Structure 1
Amino acid sequence: MSTELPTTFDPAAIEARWYAHWEQEGLFRPERPDAQPYTIVNPPPNVTGSLHIGHALDNTLQDIMIRYERLRGKDALWVVGTDHAGIATQMVVERQLEAKQDKRTNYSREDFVAKVWEWKEESGGTITRQLRRLGCSMDWSREQFTMDPHFSAAVTKTFVDLYNDGLIYRDKRLVNWDPKLKTAISDLEVETQDVKGSFWHFRYPLEDGVTLADGRDYIEVATTRPETMLADMAVAVHPEDERYASVVGKHVVLPITGRRVPIVADEHADPELGSGAVKITPGHDFNDFEVGKRAGFKPAEMLNMLDGEANVCQTADDLVPEEFLGLHRFKRDGVDGARELVVQRLKECGCLIPYTVTKEVKGGEDEVIDLDAEPRTIATPFGDRGGVVIEPWLTDQWYVDAEKLAVKPIEAVKNGEVEIVPKSWEKTFFNWMENIQPWCVSRQLWWGHRIPAWYDAEGKAYVALTEEEAQAQAGEGAALTRDEDVLDTWFSSALWPFATLGWPEQIDLVAKHYPNDLLVSGFDILFFWDARMMMMGQYTTGQNPWPKLYLHGLVRAADGQKMSKSKGNVVDPLGLIDQYGADALRFFMAAMESQGRDIKMDDKRIEGYRNFATKLWNATRFCQSNGIGASTSIAAPKATHAVNRWIIGEVVQTKQALDTALADLRFDAAANTIYHFVWDRFCDWYIELVKGNFDEETRAVAGWALDQILVMLHPFMPFITEELWSKQGDRADYPLITAKWPEPSVAIDMEAKGEIDWVIDLISKIRSGRMELNVPAGAILDFVFGHSSEGKGLDRVVRNKSAIERLGRVRFSGLAPFPGDMPRSDSEWDDYIDEIAEQMTSGSMQITVPHLHSFAALEGIIDIGAEKVRLSKAIEASAKEAKSLEGRLSNANFIERAKPEAVEKARADHAHHTAEVARLEAALARLG
């Protein structure tokens, strides 16, 4: 027995109730020990995080796949969990302490970490609750955390194994240093911002007796960071730059410090830029670091002029004047910093080259002004959390030999073992992986996986699983000190596909669910997470973590801009769920996701999908009112009526198209397939065609077709489909979430398909003709029909007469006469139609479909003359607009200079007016 649905569809009333039911009943992981496994892992969000629109897209796509495979009977496991987010979490807890006039350093490391765990237990579940609101069917019974004991053990084992295999080592190199957080950070945590700055030019005096070919006794260099000259170690010129050929190997003597540094030949120097000579500070610039190595400087010899807070410290050669020591790198709180003092001292000693500008003076001679520096807008790196300028800083850190670990992942993608979708991302993947740099994995934090290394008094490191093992390596008498650093969170999350399954202890679970089947990820973490999972997966297990990697695009604001808090254009997915329901938001994400292209937010589209849900709700209510309930069969019922055989075939066709689209990860194609079937074929046509004719066969077929809709739509819109499924019949032990994917076990009936599609075409053209010719809605048109020699047109009209008359608001007046025998060929058929047309009075509506040409006199129903004039004017207006737009679009200047959205609108308008001309001309032709 079906349960009557409320008149109005209210998403909020059903979503929380159904999610709680699914989770409490364990339906996200039904017991299917013998079923084929299907496994995906979610990119673990930060434990500090809240659901943003990117999460909504990423997790919707994953949920579609996991629900789809669950419906197909697989042991579908969606691994869920959160990342401990070292920097972000430590900052959250430190801010809480600051609010109480307290700070981290007032506590021991152990006590502070205990406070972080307290915060995690009390407040760390925000995003997991929000994922539930989205409808994510994750196996919460196995929720993971990257600091869980079993996960930490996997992290430690991997580090030790890599170290023992020579793939992890300690080295002095440049890192992205955040002076506020006082830790190294990854490239992903660096945001580049355009900042108004300056470009200074200096004279670096050549050593005594040395001059350039033009007689100058100095080399001109330029920089946006003058303070770094305190640690300059060389000047570089291009090997083929003839201006400097005579001085390569000579030296300059730096102002302020008096340091004597070599002039080196290196292709990093561009002869076309400025003077062609560049100052080299290998301890504070990534490019300079490489130049310095090529010049023969070892990292341990490179000069460092800043401490961890970006204050000037003494360099190893003791040449930084005392007045600079302790100064911050920049001006701060109104106090000049090292930058300002360097510029001042260079100016005083005559080594600052002024930047000359000419100012127009009205009514007088132009004024020449000397500035200390050229004003410039400079792309500057900032820490995304610390909010201060990042300093390239020379420090000792732990590194992974990423170049060696990248070999197998590169091979896996090249030979097809791992497929990247869309394929266009392969080039980017190879470019990065084949030029990969050592991976800095240490962080100067307290919260995270402590590096398993201990040092003796001489600084020798002992890496081991436990302190006892390290002590055994060092010997009983050695006093050991534990490394203070923790591991980069990307190191631990790189183990996510198998460590979440209990590796290396739970061998059976790992064997069943690893490799995973698919990874869905944003393209922005292709290197930081995806590629590193491939490296670690191959290293630890000898297998790729998954055979397919799907990279989706970004969700952008409606105008195409990237969302950011500073722009104020961030969209809250929870607000959209409150307004439209989770199902509508999910369907929007799927329908707009086109293999990695960015998605533009569009509230109207989301509202449209809410209307789509309402359409299905109302269609189900209509079925209930006509005695249509749950189907009792997975296979299609037997059917004799053409319309029933047609809708069964439509289900088969839709199911096949869905399977193909989801196999290809074409989420947009899958969503549009089920959308058009539900809205167009089932609701708008099938229900209308069978209305008033619900015999036992039709009720059975309609109930079965509706059930198939609910199953096929469920991965996209889980809440409304589960609600309707439950209300269509008593199936408490057979919830939709674990129902069976459609298996109609029947072929498409091409004869029935041809007939009903023909009827739909006929009715559609009648309706279009009525609308285009302004026929009053209440007017019943009398049609005269011609038919072909085979009689198909006439037979189809006779079999579907009541539906055509009711839906087209027409009445059959009879058949047009044909003199003599019926036509035998296409040409005779065309002559026959022309003859009938001549017999009709001028001003008739003419409708043509295969095997049928039909006419309805409009005299007395519309003002034919006025209608012809209206249509002609409308055709002329649209044609004129289309021609104007065509001219604009053929103008290269417009295409190149106009805003992209303006070009896009012009193209859309041109397409609209071109189509409008064709539509209106067809309407005019219908009048005869």
Structure 2
Amino acid sequence: MTDQNPATEPAATELPKTFEPAEMEARWYAHWESTGQFRPERPDAQPFTIVNPPPNVTGNLHIGHALDNTLQDIVIRYERLRGKDALWVVGTDHAGIATQMVVERQMEAKQDKRTNYSREGFVEKVWEWKAESGGQITRQLRRLGCSMDWSREQFTMDPHFTRAVVKVFVDLYNQGLIYRDKRLVNWDPKLKTAISDLEVETQELKGSFWHFRYPLADGVTLDNGQDFIEVATTRPETMLADMAVAVHPTDERYASVIGKDILQPITGRRFKVVADEHADPELGSGAVKITPGHDFNDFEVGKRAGIEPRDMLNMFDAEANVVQVADNLIPAEFVGMERFEARKLVVRRMKELGFLIPHITKDKEGNEAEHDAEPRTIQTPFGDRGGVVIEPWLTDQWYVDAEKLAAAPMEAVRSGAIEIVPKTWEKTFFNWMENIQPWCVSRQLWWGHRIPAWYGSDGKCYVAESEDEARAQAGEGITLERDPDVLDTWFSSALWPFATLGWPDQTDLLKKHYPNDLLISGFDILFFWDARMAMQGIHFMNEVPWKRLYLHGLVRAADGSKMSKSKGNVVDPLILVDQYGADALRFFMAAMESQGRDIKMDERRVEGYRNFATKLWNAARFCQSNGIGASQSLAAPTATSAVNKWIVGEVVETLAELDKAMADLRFDAAANIIYHFVWDQFCDWYIELVKGNFDAETKAVAGWVLDQILVMLHPFMPFVTEELWSKMGTRPYDLIVAKWPQPDAGVDAAAKREVEWLIALVSNLRTAKNELGIAPGAKLDAYLPEPSAATRAIIDANTGAIDRLARLSSIHFEAAPAGAAMQVGAGDANIVIPLEGVIDIAAEKARLEKALATAEKEARSLEGRLSNPKFVEKAKPEAVEKARADHAAHAAEADRLRAALARLG
């Protein structure tokens, strides 16, 4: 598909009989990358830019990566074909916790450990690991066909990127938007670092719910004379650091004791009964023990009660062992004890002191039994890396004032400067941003961007881009010690859209490709990454980081459940690539990506798209065998026959629909549009209609249409299309950098009516034959009294095709003879086909009636099950889904059989 018209036909290379993707995919990817085709030189072209969500340098390609990167590659290949300077920024994240863990595990295997080295020595070990083993996922992205600009591959610990991270931290600090504060964090006692919410996995564990009496002090009683308040907890060990008991302000049971003192029995600590809406009068006793140093809700209650964070009691060390608190009231026997052992001892001591309220159960005979606690299933937070229970821990950390930074992104979404697709995610975005909490950005690790803060012997903190600058700030005689912490990896990746383009230097690349055009992201990192990019991008660049944000769903197991290693239902995309080819997996991802919905993994569909690639391959071989090769024109060739005019018009309509779907980011629609054009219009109908009539015009049109298919399908199936493009003739350039279709043609309405009439006749006749058990090749006579002039003209012009495809020996323009017949519609015509002597009418009626009775019986049975609420509510979701599918299948079969009987009269 070029603008050239060489005098000789381009030389084609004969296609092998069998389509084998593995060798072909490896060969083409190496060729594209080595020849710089992922970012061809287009200095004057309109830019189009996307950045990949940088995967962890420790990572391996999982099915979510396969979806995310396939969608990005479809877009970037599409825009590249449309002639744009299409840049897909690629790189990896240094993944602080994950990478440090990998290296430490390797050291442990050699009886070595991190603490045997200086900080600098250990970091050097990590860099050695990255050079040897890091980047496995980037090799895997190549197997998927991702056409990223590898020549500019980025890493969040690269020197230029580190410079950007440090500048952002210092600038935010100087603007009062970064500060150090004492707050609760998710603390991983195994890794001994704060972690983000995204790194916390909630698991359901069998646990206990204990009830205790806390005595009121100084002889105070409730209105009912009770001298204690009942509290309950799943974490009794935390009572060693209790600082209040909360009740609801409107709870009349406790109104008289609000502000009074209450005692914690083991420590003897006196604290207040406080009024706070956190306490729910409808739950339990309506009273809640408050441990502000070890529970996120309690922390807020404590602050509202006037307890400063610096005064909140912290009863654990970094490994979650009990330590003495500021008031020295924790009994010595608990100090140094592991948290869950302390739990057991607290319960035992409360029981011995008479403050445990037993849980009473009754058996079937009414006999009572006493238990220390009520059994409960408890939602328990675990660190996804360390694998231990996370502890809310009060500690000094660095925070970003996210509330102030969130204002500009919210305005950008409201104004349309950022478009979120699907729009339904806007509500979630605003809900989170409007209730945003301070962002903890410090981590207690050695691997990562070291926080550029130095603590002086004068008690002050100096934040600067270098130690020399910090010393200059501190002045003579002040010794400095650098903060040991590193920055959260989300902090650095938030700079990805502009730091990857050279910022803080004002590079040409930055000027041309910022803001990015589109970000494609899983909805699960909307807040951890997407929103933070919006904050930092607008703040430092005074412009949104990207104009559109597309949020896709999750890929789930075939039964709809979430994939997890523990369930054993994780799908390895590379295994699917090995089995079916990258093109088939990519097309599956696109075809199933419906805005706002998760994708159910279905290997049969992947296999089906491998068959689709094979269908196209065989169609191209058929074209080759009939002298059809590469087209020599961007514009459609001249067409005079109806079938050639029709297929050119179908290309025009398909192209318009495809462009609209891509503009709307409807990947499923785009994939299905090109799929049906290739399979139905081109392979099934056009090739059938022109068989045996390959004149010069048809060869030119067929070659041109095949080229349009290869270009339109290329973003979805890059490998098979590039291979076919190269084999159909000599080209001046590869398909990856070809031109998007420009048919310069319209739709011929008359030709469209004529061909669609033929297709309807053949399709409906084949269906009718199948329903009545008539052999597909059986030739039949047909009758059409008083056809319209248009229909008569179509029949007269297509007698050969009607005979060959519809297997009608003739159509008589008169009334059909009396007797059983079937009727077949096409356009405005109702064609009658006698059946006397073709089939045994009585036997066929009996067969159809028997089959209909069976289908109706099965459908009624399933309808009964599905209308039973107990079945729908109690059966497994997959069983209900199967019943619905079976019901639909039997109902459709019954409809088909009724239609067949109706044909017999």
| TM-score bucket (shorter structure) | over 0.9
User: Are 2:896 and 1:919 aligned?
Assistant: yes
Corresponding residue for residue 295 of structure 1: 305
Q: Distance in 2 between the 1:84 and 1:596 partners?
A: 30
Q: Distance in 1 between the 2:606 and 2:363 partners?
A: 55
Corresponding residue for residue 878 of structure 1: 855
Q: Distance in 2 between the 1:904 and 1:344 partners?
A: 50
User: Are 2:138 and 1:132 aligned?
Assistant: no
User: Are 2:785 and 1:786 aligned?
Assistant: yes
What's the TM-score once normalised by structure 2's chain length?
0.97
Q: Distance in 2 between the 1:74 and 1:167 partners?
A: 38
Q: Distance in 2 between the 1:856 and 1:718 partners?
A: 47
Determine if contact 1:787/1:852 at 8 Å carries over to the other structure: no
Q: CA deviation at 1:360?
A: 4.1
Q: For 1:680-719, what aligned pairs fall within 5 Å after superposition? A: 680-719=680-719
Q: For 1:13-162, what aligned pairs fall within 5 Å after superposition? A: 13-162=23-172
**CA RMSD, Structure 1 to Structure 2 (Å):** 1.3
Q: CA deviation at 1:13?
A: 1.9
Q: Distance in 2 between the 1:879 and 1:289 partners?
A: 63
Aligned residue for 2:187, secondary structure, equals strand
Corresponding residue for residue 854 of structure 1: 831
Letter in 2 for 1:855: V
Q: Distance in 1 between the 2:822 and 2:231 partners?
A: 83
Q: CA deviation at 1:891?
A: 4.3
Aligned residue for 1:502, secondary structure, equals coil
Q: CA deviation at 1:571?
A: 0.3
Of all paired residues, the percent bearing the same amino acid is: 75
Pairing partner for 1:906 from 883, 887, 899? 883
Letter in 1 for 2:347: V
Corresponding residue for residue 771 of structure 1: 770
Corresponding residue for residue 358 of structure 1: 362
Q: Distance in 2 between the 1:431 and 1:127 partners?
A: 34
Letter in 1 for 2:362: T
Q: For 1:286-435, what aligned pairs fall within 5 Å after superposition? A: 286-330=296-340, 337-360=341-364, 366-435=366-435
Q: CA deviation at 1:776?
A: 2.0
Q: CA deviation at 1:893?
A: 4.4
Q: Distance in 2 between the 1:471 and 1:912 partners?
A: 78
Q: CA deviation at 1:779?
A: 2.1
Q: What are the superposed Cα offsets for residues 230-252 of structure 1, whole Å, 9 maximum, x if unpaired? A: 10001111111111111111111
Q: What are the superposed Cα offsets for residues 2-52 of structure 1, whole Å, 9 maximum, x if unpaired? A: 110000000012000000000000000000000000000000000000000
Aligned residue for 2:784, secondary structure, equals strand
Corresponding residue for residue 804 of structure 2: 806
Q: Distance in 1 between the 2:68 and 2:458 partners?
A: 49
Corresponding residue for residue 607 of structure 2: 607
Corresponding residue for residue 5 of structure 2: none
Q: CA deviation at 1:887?
A: 4.4
Q: What are the superposed Cα offsets for residues 534-590 of structure 1, whole Å, 9 maximum, x if unpaired? A: 000111111111111000000001111100000000000000000000000000000
Worse-matched range after superposition: 616-625 or 779-788:
779-788
Corresponding residue for residue 504 of structure 2: 504
Q: Distance in 1 between the 2:890 and 2:540 partners?
A: 61
Give structure 2 stretches of 5+ with no counterpart. 1-10
- In the comparison of the two structures, how many residue pairs are matched? 895
Determine if contact 1:213/1:246 at 8 Å carries over to the other structure: yes
Aligned residue for 1:517, secondary structure, equals strand
Q: For 1:583-732, what aligned pairs fall within 5 Å after superposition? A: 583-731=583-731
Q: Distance in 1 between the 2:673 and 2:629 partners?
A: 24
Determine if contact 2:184/2:296 at 8 Å carries over to the other structure: yes
Letter in 1 for 2:355: C
User: Are 2:815 and 1:842 aligned?
Assistant: no
Q: CA deviation at 1:894?
A: 4.2
Aligned residue for 2:327, secondary structure, equals coil
Distance 1:787 1:908, change over 3 A: farther
Corresponding residue for residue 578 of structure 2: 578
User: Are 2:223 and 1:219 aligned?
Assistant: no
Q: Distance in 2 between the 1:428 and 1:850 partners?
A: 49
Corresponding residue for residue 460 of structure 1: 460
Q: Distance in 2 between the 1:404 and 1:813 partners?
A: 78
Q: CA deviation at 1:813?
A: 5.4
Determine if contact 1:845/1:857 at 8 Å carries over to the other structure: yes
Letter in 1 for 2:792: L
Aligned residue for 2:385, secondary structure, equals coil
Q: CA deviation at 1:914?
A: 3.3
Q: For 1:193-204, what aligned pairs fall within 5 Å after superposition? A: 193-204=203-214
Q: Distance in 2 between the 1:724 and 1:404 partners?
A: 54
Q: CA deviation at 1:321?
A: 1.0
Determine if contact 1:792/1:851 at 8 Å carries over to the other structure: no
Corresponding residue for residue 820 of structure 1: none
Corresponding residue for residue 235 of structure 1: 245
Q: Distance in 1 between the 2:756 and 2:881 partners?
A: 35
Q: Distance in 2 between the 1:367 and 1:776 partners?
A: 76
Worse-matched range after superposition: 777-786 or 78-87:
777-786
Q: Distance in 1 between the 2:479 and 2:236 partners?
A: 44
Determine if contact 2:760/2:825 at 8 Å carries over to the other structure: no
Aligned residue for 2:254, secondary structure, equals coil
What's the TM-score once normalised by structure 1's chain length?
0.95
Q: CA deviation at 1:864?
A: 1.1
Q: Distance in 2 between the 1:475 and 1:864 partners?
A: 107
Worse-matched range after superposition: 35-44 or 897-906:
897-906
Q: Distance in 2 between the 1:286 and 1:854 partners?
A: 76
Determine if contact 2:766/2:776 at 8 Å carries over to the other structure: no
Q: Distance in 1 between the 2:817 and 2:823 partners?
A: 10
Corresponding residue for residue 522 of structure 2: 522
Determine if contact 2:758/2:826 at 8 Å carries over to the other structure: no
User: Are 2:20 and 1:10 aligned?
Assistant: yes
Determine if contact 1:793/1:852 at 8 Å carries over to the other structure: yes
Q: CA deviation at 1:850?
A: 2.6
Determine if contact 2:458/2:478 at 8 Å carries over to the other structure: no
Q: What are the superposed Cα offsets for residues 264-317 of structure 1, whole Å, 9 maximum, x if unpaired? A: 111111111111111100000000000000000000000000000000001011
Q: Distance in 1 between the 2:497 and 2:149 partners?
A: 15
Q: Distance in 2 between the 1:916 and 1:177 partners?
A: 59
Q: Distance in 2 between the 1:905 and 1:321 partners?
A: 61
Q: What are the superposed Cα offsets for residues 499-526 of structure 1, whole Å, 9 maximum, x if unpaired? A: 0001111432111000000000000000
Q: CA deviation at 1:340?
A: 1.0
Aligned residue for 1:577, secondary structure, equals helix
Q: Distance in 1 between the 2:532 and 2:840 partners?
A: 73
Q: Distance in 2 between the 1:910 and 1:743 partners?
A: 46
Q: Distance in 2 between the 1:197 and 1:602 partners?
A: 37
Letter in 2 for 1:516: N
Q: Distance in 1 between the 2:860 and 2:204 partners?
A: 42
Give structure 1 stretches of 5+ with no counterpart. 331-336, 817-835
Worse-matched range after superposition: 529-538 or 342-351:
342-351
Determine if contact 1:787/1:851 at 8 Å carries over to the other structure: no
Q: What are the superposed Cα offsets for residues 448-480 of structure 1, whole Å, 9 maximum, x if unpaired? A: 000000001243210011111111111121000
Q: CA deviation at 1:911?
A: 3.1
Distance 1:10 1:394, change over 3 A: same
Q: Distance in 2 between the 1:754 and 1:882 partners?
A: 38
Aligned residue for 2:517, secondary structure, equals coil
Q: Distance in 2 between the 1:213 and 1:311 partners?
A: 40
Determine if contact 2:787/2:813 at 8 Å carries over to the other structure: no
Q: CA deviation at 1:886?
A: 4.0
Q: Distance in 2 between the 1:698 and 1:922 partners?
A: 38
Letter in 1 for 2:403: E
Q: What are the superposed Cα offsets for residues 733-762 of structure 1, whole Å, 9 maximum, x if unpaired? A: 310000000010011111111110111001
Determine if contact 1:787/1:793 at 8 Å carries over to the other structure: no
